[in-house]
């Protein structure tokens, strides 16, 4: 079994006892701060992260913070602690679907795709709708043989503060900017674009009307606008990896999207994801686009399981065969 398959199934290098102890300390601090500050889970988690990294505004937590440091968690272990915390927070805060973290197993598949598609030692990545930063940290902690310059665009100020505070604790080089990614930005072209696309209508028709994907009869889909704007930031022939509804190319307004694709990008691959990891009517797939490229028909693969080693191995073999 390859190293990546081991990561997909289970990362045995992590010390679960340390992770559980660290999660217990973090959770107790968060609940104490929720009460002390009369705030919600994620704001309290941001304050806990600030306290851990040197803000001594809460001296009562200092002893436990030192115990947390004494665990000497690896970046991978820290990420697992935060995944537990983010899941707990999402349940307590009843977060909308667009703010929930990208499942770990999907992140590992994205890592495999990146490692397969890009062989250069350095890589610039832009993520649209970076949310809690979980997908960013999965990439930055999981791909260790490349120098990655990562930037995340996110419109929600709470998500930005949360993701940045987690990156501070984990000491990764992720950079998060509060930006409405639908609106054009002046940036250097990047090697790779990624996005677990937020789904829904974009509310500002005046901004949407500037896009070739603008609907003339209703609000335009935000995820369509993000795809079109994101591809503009790519270098020529570079890839975009989108996690999107599996019916992306057959849903409402898909005719606009398919017309745009003819002129700006080709669909290089469509990987449907297991139904059992999503709620009903929220099935997703991974769409890989290549900017301004002509090529063969898309690679299509039904990935029916993320835990069955034989299924994952078959996918990886076929992906390499068709995409390299």
What CATH number corresponds to the domain at position 157?
3.40.50.150
What pLDDT does 12 receive? Answer: 52
User: Is 107 found in the same domain as 44?
Assistant: no
For the residues 212-238, what does the mean pLDDT come to? 94
156: Cα within 13 Å, side-chain hemisphere: 17
Q: Which has the higher per-residue pLDDT, 315 or 89?
A: 315
For the residues 8-31, what does the mean pLDDT come to? 84
Has residue 55 got a pLDDT over 80?
no
Q: Which band of pLDDT confidence, cut at 50, 70 and 90, is reported for residue 189?
A: very high
Q: How far apart are CA 278 and CA 284, in angstroms?
A: 8
Has residue 1 got a pLDDT over 50?
no
User: Is 272 found in the same domain as 144?
Assistant: yes
- pLDDT (tens digit per residue) in 249-298: 998 899 999 999 999 999 999 999 998 888 777 889 999 999 987 778 89
For the residues 50-64, what does the mean pLDDT come to? 83
User: Is 86 found in the same domain as 136?
Assistant: no
Six token digits for residue 42: 């994620």
Q: Which has the higher per-residue pLDDT, 58 or 28?
A: 28
- Separation in Å, CA 123 to CA 18, 76, 306: 32, 20, 26
185 in helix, strand or coil? coil
User: Is 235 found in the same domain as 310?
Assistant: yes
Listed in sequence order, the DSSP H helices in 118-151 are 134-142
Phi, psi of 58, rounded to the nearest 5 degrees:
-125, 80
For the residues 125-129, what does the mean pLDDT come to? 97
Where is the domain boundary, 52, 75, 95? Answer: 95
Gyration radius (Cα) of the chain, Å: 20
Q: Which band of pLDDT confidence, cut at 50, 70 and 90, is reported for residue 98?
A: low
124 in helix, strand or coil? strand
Six token digits for residue 194: 């990624």
- Separation in Å, CA 28 to CA 77, 152, 167, 276: 18, 29, 21, 32
For the residues 213-230, what does the mean pLDDT come to? 94
**Furthest CA-CA distance within the chain:** 62
Separation of CA 171 from chain center: 18
User: Is 318 found in the same domain as 207?
Assistant: yes
Taking a C-beta distance cutoff of 8 angstroms, is the pair 144, 120 a contact? no
Kindly give, in sequence order, each residue whose CB lies less than 8 Å from that of residue 252, ignoring residues fewer than 6 positions away: 221
Domain count for the chain: 2
CA angle 265, 266, 271 (to 5 degrees): 125
Has residue 79 got a pLDDT over 90?
yes
Has residue 5 got a pLDDT over 60?
no
User: Is 199 found in the same domain as 286?
Assistant: yes
What percent of the chain has a predicted confidence (pLDDT) above 70? 94
What pLDDT does 3 receive? Answer: 40
Six token digits for residue 157: 């100020």
Kindly give, in sequence order, each residue whose CB lies less than 8 Å from that of residue 12, ignoring residues fewer than 6 positions away: 6
User: Is 179 found in the same domain as 70?
Assistant: no
For the residues 110-126, what does the mean pLDDT come to? 97
Has residue 4 got a pLDDT over 60?
no
What pLDDT does 85 receive? Answer: 95
For residue 42, the enclosing domain spans 3-95
Has residue 49 got a pLDDT over 50?
yes
Has residue 2 got a pLDDT over 80?
no
240 in helix, strand or coil? strand
Q: Which band of pLDDT confidence, cut at 50, 70 and 90, is reported for residue 96?
A: low
What pLDDT does 11 receive? Answer: 55
User: Is 140 found in the same domain as 106?
Assistant: yes
Q: Which band of pLDDT confidence, cut at 50, 70 and 90, is reported for residue 7?
A: low
Average pLDDT, the chain: 90
What pLDDT does 72 receive? Answer: 95
Quick one: 324 exposed, middle or buried, by C-beta within 10 A (0-12, 13-18, 19+)? exposed
Q: Please report the beta strands in 155-259, taking only residues with DSSP state E, as ranges in sequence order.
A: 175-178, 190-196, 234-245
Taking a C-beta distance cutoff of 8 angstroms, is the pair 143, 111 a contact? yes
User: Is 219 found in the same domain as 203?
Assistant: yes
Q: How far apart are CA 173 and CA 146, in angstroms?
A: 13
Separation of CA 32 from chain center: 29
The per-residue b/e assignment along 92-126, b for 16 or more CB within 10 angstroms, e otherwise, is eeebeebbbbbbbbbbbbbbbbbbebbeeeebbbb
What percent of the chain has a predicted confidence (pLDDT) above 90? 78
- pLDDT (tens digit per residue) in 131-174: 999 999 999 999 989 999 999 999 999 999 999 999 999 999 89
User: Is 110 found in the same domain as 81?
Assistant: no
């Amino acid at each position: 079994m390859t190293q990546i398959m081991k990561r997909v199934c289970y990362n045995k290098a992590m010390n679960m006892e340390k992770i559980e102890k660290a999660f217990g300390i973090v959770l107790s601090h968060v609940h104490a701060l929720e009460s002390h500050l009369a705030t919600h889970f994620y704001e309290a988690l941001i304050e806990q992260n600030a306290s851990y990294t040197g803000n001594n505004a809460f001296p009562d937590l200092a002893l436990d913070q030192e115990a947390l440091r004494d665990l000497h968690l690896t970046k991978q272990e820290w990420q697992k602690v935060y995944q537990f915390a983010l899941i707990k927070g999402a349940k307590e805060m009843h977060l909308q679907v667009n703010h929930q973290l990208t499942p770990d197993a999907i992140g590992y598949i994205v890592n495999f795709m990146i490692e397969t598609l890009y062989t250069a030692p350095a890589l610039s990545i832009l993520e649209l709708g970076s949310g809690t930063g979980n997908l960013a940290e999965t990439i930055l902690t999981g791909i260790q043989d490349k120098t990655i310059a990562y930037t995340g665009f996110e419109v929600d100020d709470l998500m930005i503060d949360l993701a940045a505070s987690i990156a501070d604790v984990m000491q990764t080089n992720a950079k998060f900017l509060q930006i409405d990614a639908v609106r054009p930005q002046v940036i250097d072209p990047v090697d790779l674009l990624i996005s677990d696309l937020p789904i829904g209508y974009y509310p500002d028709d005046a901004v949407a009307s500037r896009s070739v994907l603008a609907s003339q009869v209703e609000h335009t889909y935000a995820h369509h606008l993000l795809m079109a704007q994101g591809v503009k930031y790519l270098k020529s022939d570079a890839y975009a990896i989108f996690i999107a509804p599996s019916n992306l190319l057959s849903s409402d307004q898909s005719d606009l999207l398919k017309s745009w694709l003819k002129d700006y990008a080709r669909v290089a691959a469509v990987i449907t994801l297991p139904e059992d990891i999503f709620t009903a009517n929220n099935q997703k797939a991974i769409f890989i686009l290549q900017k301004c490229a002509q090529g063969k028909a898309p690679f299509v693969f039904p990935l029916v399981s993320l835990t069955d080693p034989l299924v994952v191995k078959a996918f990886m073999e076929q992906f390499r065969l068709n995409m390299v």
